Amino acid sequence: MERRTFITLLGVAAATSPLAARGQQKSGPVIGFIDPGLGQVNGPFLVSFLEGMRELGWRDGENMTVLARWVENQPVRLPGIMAGLLAERVDLLVTGGSLVTNAARAATDSLPIVMVGVGDPVGFGFAQSLARPGGNVTGLSNMSVDLVTKRLQLLVEMAPAARRIVILVDSRDPTAQAYWQQVRENAARLGLTPLLVEAAAVEDIDSAFAGLSERADALFLSFNALMVANRTKIATLALANRLPTSCPTRDFVVAGGLQSLGSSLPGDFRRAADFVDRILKGARPADLPVMQPTKFELVINLKTAGALGLTLPPTMLTLADEVIE
């Protein structure tokens, strides 16, 4: 880890401790940063956001105040977190993922909300259109829904024998059913048999994998907080069950998944700073177009492929943005 990132993480840990939160002196505009996972796991996303703000002249504790809140994969905490941030008179909210964005929008229709990591902002009802969101929500879409077909195709290319595909989703995610429908329709067009498996908490993940190798040939992961927070556990269980895994982002492949196609989460949080900067300078979320990824990363874990006994096409390895060996 780079020294600057390490120091920033130490600062993040100190600033988000309960004691610090109670005694924090606010400087400049106050920004609520809400991540659905654990600070120990997703802390780098906050670091990326703060670095993006710093590049635009904003420094936490000097000319702005960032109040970071971690949902810790317990959606039941969201109403209390939102109420607490509103009581702190925040000027703007930065939300990670559809679950948190949905809770923020339910809590306020006036405060600006900058979302990150939402697959289909229009389909999920967060924006009227990408060009003109029209409400108090704007930010970045990771286009995870649009990438479903390509991810399925890549999975079949890497594991040609795979025909029964399990889609693992978080049943608490309000977008889970819409995502499942999208995957099911695309899988059917490719001649695949999709199977829905749901989990609502970390405790459900072990039971979700019980006997899965007898019913499925491969695993397709949805993008949500539960999956991100437990990516190492999921990758380990998938490998133990000899299931090639299609992942939504690089973080999963680093943890041991087979391959991913998606945007960079740290990069998206860094780009969110531009929206925050423009809103703090007077822009309205309703008028700021929702941005889509400028690049999708294809990442392959060659060690995992070898453990699964897969021989990957050389052309695919050439096309990959990163091959983990």
With a cut of 60, say whether residue 1 has pLDDT above it: no
Q: What is the pLDDT of residues 18-76, one digit of tens each?
A: 434 444 567 899 999 999 988 988 899 999 999 999 999 999 999 999 999 999 988 89
Query: Which residue range is the domain that position 301 belongs to?
Result: 148-262+296-324
**pLDDT given at position 229:** 82
Within this chain, do residues 304 and 186 fall inside the same structural domain, yes or no?
A: yes
Within this chain, do residues 30 and 118 fall inside the same structural domain, yes or no?
A: yes
Within this chain, do residues 61 and 20 fall inside the same structural domain, yes or no?
A: yes
Q: 150 to each of 5, 143, 231, 248, how far by Cα in Å?
A: 33, 12, 21, 11
Question: Residue 225 belongs to what H/E stretch?
Answer: helix 225-229
Within this chain, do residues 190 and 115 fall inside the same structural domain, yes or no?
A: no
Q: 230 to each of 170, 204, 237, 312, how far by Cα in Å?
A: 12, 11, 11, 26
- Pick from 268, 168, 166: which is nearest to 217 by CA? 166
Q: What is the pLDDT of residues 127-164, one digit of tens each?
A: 999 999 999 999 999 887 788 999 999 999 999 999 99
pTM for this entry: 0.82
CATH number at residue 224: 3.40.50.2300
Residues in a beta bridge with 133: none
**pLDDT given at position 24:** 57
185 Cβ contact list (under 8 Å, min separation 6): none
Within this chain, do residues 278 and 253 fall inside the same structural domain, yes or no?
A: no
Distance from the Cα of residue 152 to its chain's centroid:
19
Query: What total of structural domains would you count in the chain?
Result: 2
Within this chain, do residues 225 and 130 fall inside the same structural domain, yes or no?
A: no
Within this chain, do residues 187 and 275 fall inside the same structural domain, yes or no?
A: no
Torsion angle in degrees (nearest 10) through CA of 322, 194, 119, 189: 90
**pLDDT given at position 102:** 93
Within this chain, do residues 138 and 155 fall inside the same structural domain, yes or no?
A: no
74 Cβ contact list (under 8 Å, min separation 6): none
Three-state secondary-structure class, residue 210: coil
Within this chain, do residues 195 and 315 fall inside the same structural domain, yes or no?
A: yes
Give the C-alpha separation, 233 to 75, whole Å.
Answer: 20
Q: What is the pLDDT of residues 17-34, one digit of tens each?
A: 443 444 456 789 999 999
Within this chain, do residues 279 and 313 fall inside the same structural domain, yes or no?
A: no
- Pick from 300, 303, 242, 293: which is nearest to 271 by CA? 293
Within this chain, do residues 168 and 305 fall inside the same structural domain, yes or no?
A: yes
**pLDDT given at position 295:** 81
- Pick from 204, 34, 181, 187: which is nearest to 117 by CA? 34
Within this chain, do residues 224 and 315 fall inside the same structural domain, yes or no?
A: yes
With a cut of 90, say whether residue 274 has pLDDT above it: yes
Distance from the Cα of residue 280 to its chain's centroid:
24
